[in-house]
Structure 1
Amino acid sequence: MTLHSAPTEQRALVTGATAGIGAAFARRLAADGWHLVLVARDADRLAEVAAEAREHHGREVEIISTDLSTDDGCAVVEGRLAGGTPIDLLVNNAGISLNKPFLRSSAEAEARLLRLNVHAVMRLTLAALRTMTERRRGAVINVSSVAGFGAVMPGSTYSASKAWVTNFSESVGQSTRSFGVRVMALCPGYTRTEFHERAGINMSKTPEWMWLRADDVVDEALRDLRKGKPVSVPAWRYKFAVAGLRHAPRRLLHAVARGTRGRIGREER
């Protein structure tokens, strides 16, 4: 599979495709010649993204409006991955964070986070890899986060869910490489999207230099996928941050992280 100039028969399925990194993947892949299957809950916004890809790039676009935090929603997308025109690239981008720390959260909210950030990623990756390994071609990008490399958000379970996504992707990728199929975890830092706003998290104190552009994140992700990297961390500043998170003494890491929400982005109360 080439990601420089995709043959016209290649198709990518992107979840969480109506905004942010998911929408940036849809735009970039359509511009590169990929046909698309776009998945999100908001049917109207899906139709807008699909219309752009059709009108500007002449791509074929299917839309699936469904909630991946539910079993039924996952089953719909699993069915598409298993049947119909084959999917050559799966981008698992859909995910959520919560605006309350664990001690003030609810079991229902935490379960929904795990269903979307972990359970849906596992189910869709498995469905995609079954056909990709049979065909001996394809790739999966699971959107994780720099936050997954350390407990840098006191009281948040988001980073724990993303640690799972990164570890899962690396592990599964080792087993699929011999079939000619790549699995990569994409681990961006703070990215200009609707993600924090939708979660009700106030990011007004986050320094400007920490923000990434979604289009730049996608560009680097596709470059790293072509290179066969199991983990992609866009931007040198976040590569350095990940090195620190991996190797810093835990006591130091916890001391630095203790006031993270107050300095960078505290939850709305």
Structure 2
Amino acid sequence: MSGLRYVYAVCHPLEAPLQVQLTGVAGAPAKPLHHHGLVAVVSEVPERDFSEEPLRAHLEDLDWLAATARAHQGVVDALTVVTTPLPLRLATVFRDDSGVRSMIEAREDHFRATLDRLEGRVEWGVKVYVEPEQSLSAAQSAAQPAPKAASGREYLRQRRQQTRASEDMWRKAETFAARLHEELAAFAEDSRLHAPQNPALSGVEGRNVLNASYLVTRHDSEEFVELVDRVKDDVPGVRVELTGPWAAYSFTGETPEEPGAPGVPGEPEERGGREALREPGKPGEPGERA
């Protein structure tokens, strides 16, 4: 390798070699770099794009950023199929192999403890949305069309009824989301509540009333999925989305500010979106450069 070293994740030694066709950021193949009984999965990236100044400029280019985030996630996803990876933040780049080895040595105890704790576990994401008001209004109107208001007073009465119906919908959705989270958190080994998505940034329709991640063993994952499926249609006008299984981004025990710390990207369907790419510690934040 003659370019810079882009690091995707750290993991225990792999029992099988990486896929020959597995390519990552900048179209470069992902390769294992062994050190002290751990493996950093890396690829070579051009200095013209990933040295400090060019990278800073690229991070303002959402198209470039989205493509890079997808390539980064593609490697992590491939690793998750065969092992338990500890993903690093997007754009964690080092000058050469020795820089990667130094990073492993500096964080070796943490890497080992975290990998042991997460071994055999994956992350599932669950989001609950209240459908857009226009969709609910259209469905309600189709089921029971409101009579045309005969006067201004009647119009105001109908508007108050619509407002009460909307408020009732929010209450039902929030109650359902709280009950669902309590049930899923009790089943999972660990859970995290994230800030609700901003629909203007994520591009996802509906108001997000639950955005949570759950740490579940691979063995129990099928039952976890069934648990979500059983309740997802309980409340009309409320949409439940399940994503995963993913690497356990939300359970690395890292703070986003730590250089080279494992990142906590948004859910994969968000990666490449403005919200996920701009939040601290998620794709879009530069990682360590050494």
TM-score higher than 0.5 here? no
Structure with a larger share of its residues in strand: 2
- TM-score (normalizing by structure 2): 0.26
User: Greater relative contact order (Cα 8 A, min sep 6): structure 1 or 2?
Assistant: 2
- TM-score (normalizing by structure 1): 0.27
Structure with a larger share of its residues in helix: 1
Larger Rg: 2
